[in-house]
Amino acid sequence: MKKVYHLTFFLALIAAIAGGALACANALTAPIVEANALAAEKENLKLLFPDAKDADFEEVSVKDAETIEKIFKVNNQGTVFKMKVSGYKEGTSFMVALDDEANIMDFVVISNGDTQGIGTKVTEESFANALKSKNSVEDTLDTISGATVSSRPIVDGIKEAGDYLLNQLK
Amino acid sequence: MNRKENFTAGFIRENPVFGLYLGLCSTLAITTTLNNAIGMGVAVILVLVMSNVIISCIRKITPSEIRIPVYIVIIATLVKIIQMLIKAYAPALDSALGVFIPLIVVNCIILGRAEAFASKNSIFDSALDGLGMGIGYTCSIIVMSIIRQVLATGILSFENPFNVEQVLFQVQIIPEDYIISMFSQPIGAFITFAMLAGILAACKNAKAAKAQAKEGN
């Protein structure tokens, strides 16, 4: 019985030291990792607003939204919604920029995990061009025929972003 | 076994990858570019040396019944710390190596050296063994990645892992029309691995035959 206590104590001690070491390493690296992630995010945001500076993007917290991951206000120029929607397989991550009346200023797909060829049509320029300058709430946004499983959630997501902008951020 | 022999064992005679066939999962997966191979190699050397040193330090107080879980906890902790550091200071390397950094935990080379060497030898010898084996592993994956990268892309390049935009060197070795893109796929990994393991085995056999002939005389 004494042996069992000895073994348990030894393993617990090793695990405790390991935990302590990990906590130290995490405290050291977590702020840097977070800063890296933010910098990468801002690089993506500049795809939509090439002229904006890092300081122009201000993150706004998101409440009660299904597909909206993050919201950034861009210094009097508009609002960027970072969205993750479902699709045929892994779905699509995209960003959409809206002006104050919820008109679509720009649309960029960050990643798409759907079937190559059909599902990835949403990453093509023609889809983005068809969306641009339409109003996200009032206008009908066209899906891609033959790729509705991938494009329908995106269109719905943009509508949700528009509603959110008009109802929650005003 | 003297120290020099112990240190150089991992280079050819007991090369962990092509001689002992250890740690093959990550070897096959990440040897697509030289950058990946060097990054992975350095990470494995660090983990291997540190785990060997720590395990050797506590070898006299570790109860033999629970030695394997103790080793695993130590190795996993070291790998996680290395992973955090890579994520913070070389994010490009982190996204290129992906899941294979945490998988260093289950790299048999590390647990193998802990059990076979560090648990029985002094701290200095264990550190030397870890370094030798680590260098052997790194050299093996560097050779493999050079072959695969050159055949698959025609270009041999190396970027600064801390700043991706800074390309340290880039040479076009094979013209674009003659590349074999299959070598960036898993099948290319297996073919390259089999060739190199075969060459090393042939060298070893030739050496053994020579030694035997000498004894016969």
Per-residue pLDDT tens for B169-203? Answer: 888 888 888 889 889 899 999 999 999 999 998 98
Confidence at residue B217, expressed as pLDDT on a 0 to 100 scale: 65
Q: How far apart are CA A128 and CA A6, in angstroms?
A: 66
Percentage of the residues of chain B whose pLDDT score is greater than 70: 99
Q: How far apart are CA A100 and CA A76, in angstroms?
A: 9
Mean pLDDT highest for which of A71-85, A95-109, B34-48?
Answer: B34-48
CB B141 within 8 A of CB B31: yes
Decide if B88 touches A, using CB distance below 8 A. yes
Q: How far apart are CA B9 and CA B135, in angstroms?
A: 10
Least confident of A5-9, A108-112, B155-159: A108-112
Could you list the residue range(s) of the whole structural domain that residue B23 is in?
3-216
Q: How far apart are CA B46 and CA B94, in angstroms?
A: 16
Rg (CA), chain A: 22
**A81 vs A77, which has greater pLDDT?**
A81
- Contact at CB, B66 and A7, closer than 8 angstroms: yes
Closest-CA residue of A relative to B66 is: A7
Give counts: helices (H), strands (E), chain A: 3, 5
Confidence at residue B23, expressed as pLDDT on a 0 to 100 scale: 84
Residues of B with Cβ-Cβ distance to A40 under 8 angstroms: 91
Confidence at residue B1, expressed as pLDDT on a 0 to 100 scale: 58
Show the tokens assigned to B174.
């094979």
Residues of A with Cβ-Cβ distance to B51 under 8 angstroms: none
Confidence at residue B37, expressed as pLDDT on a 0 to 100 scale: 92
Decide if B67 touches A, using CB distance below 8 A. no
Confidence at residue A141, expressed as pLDDT on a 0 to 100 scale: 79
Instruction: Among B69, B77, B87, select the one facing A22 at the smallest CB separation.
Output: B77
Asked whether residue A70 is domain-assigned, the answer is yes
Asked whether residue A161 is domain-assigned, the answer is yes
Mean pLDDT highest for which of A27-31, A101-105, B213-217?
Answer: A27-31
Q: Measure Cα distances from A17 to A21, A23, B11, B30 in Å.
A: 6, 10, 34, 32
Could you list the residue range(s) of the whole structural domain that residue A93 is in?
54-167
Per-residue 3-state assignment (H helix, E strand, C coil) for chain B: CCHHHHHHCCCCCCCCCCCCCCCHHHHHHHCCCHHHHHHHHHHHHHHHHHHHHHHHHCCCCCCHHHHHHHHHHHHHHHHHHHHHHHHHHCHHHHHHHHHHCHHHHHCHHHHHHHHHHHCCCCHHHHHHHHHHHHHHHHHHHHHHHHHHHHHHHCEEEEECCCCCCCEEEEEECCCHHHCCHHHHCHHHHHHHHHHHHHHHHHHHHHHHHHHHHHHHC
CB B21 within 8 A of CB B14: no
Asked whether residue A12 is domain-assigned, the answer is no
Largest CA-CA distance found in chain A, in angstroms, rounded: 76
Q: How far apart are CA A35 and CA A14, in angstroms?
A: 32
- Contact at CB, A21 and B66, closer than 8 angstroms: no
Our count of domains for chain B comes to 1
Nearest to A107 by CA among A126, A86, A85, A87: A126
Mean pLDDT across A127-142: 81
**Phi, psi at A108, each rounded to 5°:** -135, 130
How high is the mean pLDDT of chain B? 89
Decide if B105 touches A, using CB distance below 8 A. no
Q: What is the pTM of this model?
A: 0.77
Helix (H, G, I), strand (E, B) or coil at A146: coil
Contact residues of A toward B, CB < 8 A: 6-7, 10-11, 14-15, 18, 21-22, 25-26, 28-30, 32-33, 36, 40
Asked whether residue A39 is domain-assigned, the answer is no
Asked whether residue A18 is domain-assigned, the answer is no
- Whether B143 shows a pLDDT value over 90: the answer reads yes
Interface test with A, best of B60, B68, B81, B89 (most A CBs within 10 A): B81
Asked whether residue A1 is domain-assigned, the answer is no
- Contact at CB, A21 and B74, closer than 8 angstroms: no
How confident is the model over B86-102, as pLDDT tens digits? 999 888 888 888 888 88
Helix (H, G, I), strand (E, B) or coil at A170: coil
- Whether B109 shows a pLDDT value over 80: the answer reads yes
CB B96 within 8 A of CB B26: no
Q: How far apart are CA B41 and CA A17, in angstroms?
A: 26
Residues of B with Cβ-Cβ distance to A34 under 8 angstroms: none
Our count of domains for chain A comes to 1
Least confident of B34-48, B84-98, B140-154: B84-98
Confidence at residue A6, expressed as pLDDT on a 0 to 100 scale: 92
- Smallest Cα distance from A160 to chain B, Å: 31
- Contact at CB, A32 and B88, closer than 8 angstroms: yes
Residues of A with Cβ-Cβ distance to B80 under 8 angstroms: 22, 25
Confidence at residue B191, expressed as pLDDT on a 0 to 100 scale: 94
Decide if B84 touches A, using CB distance below 8 A. yes
Give the number of other Cβ atoms within 10 Å of residue B187's Cβ.
10
Mean pLDDT across B113-136: 91
Q: Measure Cα distances from A92 to A36, A72, A86, A106 in Å.
A: 23, 19, 6, 16
Closest-CA residue of B relative to A21 is: B77
Residues of A with Cβ-Cβ distance to B87 under 8 angstroms: 29, 33, 36
Q: How far apart are CA A101 and CA A78, in angstroms?
A: 9
Q: How far apart are CA B188 and CA B196, in angstroms?
A: 12
Decide if B62 touches A, using CB distance below 8 A. yes
Q: Measure Cα distances from B59 to A21, B66, B67 in Å.
A: 20, 12, 9
